[in-house]
Amino acid sequence: MHRSLANPTREAALPAGGGTDTGSDSSFLSFIRAVTEGMALLVGLMAIETLFLGRGTYAALDLHPFWLPVMLVSLQYGVYGGVVTAILASLFMDWPLRPPGLDISAYYLEMVRLPIQWLLAAVLIGLFRQNQRRTEIERAREIERLRRMNTAFADEIRRLDEELWQLEVAIATEAPAPARQADRPPPSDLGGAPEMPTTALREATAARLAEELQRCARDLLGPVTVRLFLRCPRGDYREVGDIRAAGASGEVLPGDHPIVRRAAAEVGPVTVKRAPEFADGVAAIAVRGPDEEAPIGILAIPFGRREQIGDGAVGVLTDALAAALAGMKQDDVATLARCSGDGGR
Question: 259-281: per-residue pLDDT in tens?
Answer: 777 777 776 666 666 666 665 66
Burial-class residue 89 by CB neighbours within 10 Å (0-12, 13-18, 19+).
Answer: buried
Report the alpha-carbon distance of residue 117 to residue 200 in Å, rounded. Answer: 106
**What's the rounded mean pLDDT across residues 225-252?**
68
pLDDT at residue 291, rounded to an integer: 64
Report the alpha-carbon distance of residue 208 to residue 327 in Å, rounded. Answer: 13
Question: Does residue 116 or residue 177 have the better pLDDT?
Answer: 116
pLDDT band, very low/low/confident/very high, at 196 (cuts 50, 70, 90): low
**What's the rounded mean pLDDT across residues 11-36?**
64
Report the alpha-carbon distance of residue 45 to residue 261 in Å, rounded. Answer: 118
Q: Are 286 and 252 in contact (CB under 8 A)?
A: no
Q: Which residues contact 331 (CB under 8 A, 6 or more apart)?
A: 344
User: Computed from CA positions of residues 10, 16, 18, 22, in that sequence, does the dihedral angle turn out positive or negative?
Assistant: negative
Does residue 247 surpass a pLDDT of 50? no
Report the alpha-carbon distance of residue 257 to residue 223 in Å, rounded. Answer: 28
Strand 282-287 and strand 297-301: the pairing is: antiparallel
Q: Are 317 and 287 in contact (CB under 8 A)?
A: no
| Domains of the chain, earliest start first | 8-172 (no CATH), 187-336 (3.30.450.40)
Task: Write the DSSP assignment of 187-226 as a string of letters.
Answer: GGG--TTTTHHHHHHHT--TTTHHHHHHHHHHHHH-S---
pLDDT at residue 245, rounded to an integer: 42
User: Computed from CA positions of residues 300, 303, 304, 310, in that sequence, does the dihedral angle turn out positive or negative?
Assistant: negative
Instruction: Find the Cα–Cα–Cα–Cα dihedral 230, 233, 238, 240, rounded to 10°.
Output: -50
Indicate the length of the chain as a whole number. Answer: 345
Percent of the chain exceeding pLDDT 70 equals 70
**What's the rounded mean pLDDT across residues 15-39?**
72
pLDDT at residue 250, rounded to an integer: 62
Average pLDDT, the chain: 75
